[in-house]
Structure 1
Amino acid sequence: MSSNFARQAIFDIHKQVIAYEFLFRDGFRDSFPGIASDVATQSILNDLFIEGNITQEAVSDGLPCFVNFSYQSLIDGTALQYPPENLVVEVLEDCPADSVLFEKLIDLRAKGYCIAFDDFIPSTDWIPFLGLADIIKIDFRAQSLDSITRFVQEYREKFSFKLLAEKIETKEEYHFARELGFDLFQGYQLSKPERMPYPFVA
């Protein structure tokens, strides 16, 4: 029997697994079922931190858990219901970059939560948020290598965030990201998502 989520490993420059991203999956198909993002977020968090004998330590090997948060989940303060020690709050790319979100992220950081921006594409609205980021995730399928290079060269030294190259699918992309100075790596070239069995106990 399978759970309603899968995990995908995140690696450092030494190819050591340092975290997992948790992805909501349909109970019968190994894919995202198209439900509302905040519902998927709540389901994953409940499975990770609440459900009976299911423990975050068991399903993540004690490593940090990256979980996607919709705009509504962030505004509602959903993350505050869960311990910050091993939770990485991923701000989804379709969130509006408004002042309400900005203040919510300031509050989360002040309370010890790690903030990651998913599929980040630089724009005038989002640049002020870079100072709140612990991790910036760059989707190698969504941007050209030239665009990625320009972003890294312009902003890497101005802020203290780590760079995560995601959707790395070839050796060439992996080596390119390493040479450019990325800190973390995620994608099929390194590890595919694995559906978690129920009840996730070691």
Structure 2
Amino acid sequence: MYFYAARQPILDRNKNLYAYELLFRDGINNVFPEIDGDEATSRIIEGSQFSYGLDDFLGDKPGFINFTLDTLLKKYPSMLPKEQIVVEILETVQPGKRLLSECQQLKEQGYTIALDDYIHQNVWRHFYPYIDIIKIDLRTTTSETINLVKEAIADFPHIKLLAEKVETFAEFQQAMDMGFSYFQGFFFSLPEMMQAKALSPAQMTLAELLYETSKTEMDLQKITQVFERDVSLSYKLLRYSNSAIFKRRAEIETIKQALVVLGQVELKKFLSLLFTAQISSDKPAELMRMSMTRARFSEGLAQLHGKVDSGKAFLTGMMSLMDAILDEPIASVMQKLPLAKEIKEALVEQTGILADFMSLIKCYESADWAKSATAIAQLGLAVDKVPDAYHTAVQWANEQMKALGD
């Protein structure tokens, strides 16, 4: 058995990251729903205590974790820091005296409590003093029912509503209008509207550098000259190359020195990071983090595969959300950028092995373990190595966001 995990972002009304929901399943052939909720929750506890730290997945944000009545009665939440988790009571748990007692105790201990996939019943009113968040599935709950819930919690202003399965900007706007405070889903990773957005001169310079560094033989002199004519870009290069990520013994003082020390692989990563960061400045920060995670995960898959250029895989992942960032079709975006043919084919036509990597990555993002298993088998990847590649990608993206935010 191997330990599988994924995370899904939860954003606030300003589209800032509020938290993640952590989704853990056990193994390729023993995927949810074939294991029960108790075992799934146990795996969370085991993993966070022995396999990895919650910080690896969450950074400084809280994580929503599912709990059954049995795991609540066994006091599993107390094994995790109250600052790091939201105790999410599964929709299969029926309201009763034992559950009410557990909620009272958790609230006294300072835990945040959420009701998952809430089905409105009057009996839940007894729980409202202890509940902080109510999660409502937009796809299965009518507007009339949502209004009933809002009326029921009117006397409990501390309770916030969280909309689940928000997949489009229109759904996000609808939930906003209905008074929801938090939103779970990948609406932010889709174009809000189809409109052309011109690239600035600085962004075109970065695109030029991306093209130059993608060549088999990199022209160091030409690349140095491009950097030297852009003071802001040069400063960012020097700051990045001197960051703690690289643990250099001596500080880097010149453009050429920075380019040599970084090398082609790291330089290409830096440029794609910077390009994505620049054009996504008015977008949710989680979109940038998601791009980074995809890039590093794709690179890791290429290394596991052994027959795919890891640099191209990295850039494919980084560019995969450009339609959402620029609010226009991916085909139009790719026409503007001088990228390798294989990258464009993967993103526009969804063909080739790089496209297969992207399909697997999307399965991970949605915690679709059955499809993940099929994709891993078809790609011939070592089944026990893929989760590690994902975990590494998540940690790396967290580090990069900190570095770029300094």
What TM-score results when the alignment is normalised by the length of structure 1?
Answer: 0.88
Identify unmatched segments of 5+ residues in structure 2.
190-361, 368-385, 396-406
Q: What SS does the corresponding residue of 1:119 show, helix, strand or coil?
A: coil
Aligned runs of 1:2-13 on 2, under 5 Å? 3-13=3-13
For 1:105-144, what aligned pairs fall within 5 Å after superposition?
105-144=103-142
Q: Deviations over 1:158-192 (max 9, x none)?
A: 11111111111233221111011111000232467
Q: SS of 1:185's equivalent?
A: strand
Cα distance in 1 for partners of 2:12, 2:167 equals: 16
Tell me how far apart the structure 2 counterparts of residues 15 and 31 of structure 1 sit (CA, whole Å). Answer: 31
The equivalent residue for 2:174 is: 176
Aligned to 1:14: 14
Match of 1:27 in 2: 27
Write the distance in 2 (CA, Å) between the matches of 1:32 and 1:90: 17
Report the AA paired with residue 164 of structure 1: L
What displacement does 1:26 show? Answer: 4.6
Tell me the CA shift for residue 30 of structure 1: 11
Instruction: After TM superposition, give the deviation of residue 41 of structure 1 in Å.
Output: 0.4
- Give the secondary structure class of the aligned counterpart of 2:61: coil
Q: Distance in 2 between matches of 1:190 and 1:71?
A: 33
Q: Which residue of 1 aligns with 2:402?
A: none
Shift of 1:66: 0.4
C-alpha contact 1:118 1:137 (8 A) present in aligned 2: yes
Give the partner amino acid of 1:28.
I
Cα deviation per residue 1:94-113 (whole Å; 9 max; x = unaligned)?
A: 11211111011100111111
Q: Distance in 2 between matches of 1:119 and 1:22?
A: 15
- Consecutive unaligned residues of structure 1, counting only runs of 5 or more, are none
Q: Equivalent residue of 1:125, what SS?
A: helix
Which 4+ stretches in 1 moved above 3 angstroms?
190-193
Are 2:65 and 2:87, in contact at CA under 8 Å, matched by a contact in 1? yes
Counterpart of 1:155 (choices 152, 157, 162) is: 152
CA distance in 1 between counterparts of 2:69 and 2:10 reads: 24
Question: Per-residue CA shift, 1:130-172, capped at 9, x if unaligned?
Answer: 22111111111221122112322x0343111111111112332
- Flag the 1:150–1:33 CA change in 2: closer, same or farther, 3 A: closer
1:28-177 alignment runs, 5 A limit: 28=28, 32-48=32-48, 50-52=49-51, 54-152=52-150, 154-159=151-156, 160-177=158-175
Which of the two has greater helix per residue? 2
The structure that is strand-richer by fraction is 1
Report the count of equivalent residues.
Answer: 198
1:119 deviation in Å?
0.8
Letter in 2 for 1:60: L
The one-letter amino acid of 2:79's match is Q
**Which deviations, in whole Å up to 9, do the C-alpha atoms of 1:44-88 show, x marking residues without a partner?**
12212x125x11111112210100001111112111122211111
Q: Partners in 2 of 1:174 and 1:30 — Cα distance?
A: 34
Bigger mean CA offset, 10-19 vs 20-29: 20-29
State the distance in 2 between where 1:35 and 1:3 align. Answer: 13
> What root-mean-square deviation, in Å, do the aligned CA atoms of Structure 1 and Structure 2 show?
2.2
Work out the CA distance in 2 between the residues paired with 1:62 and 1:29: 33
SS at match of 2:50: coil
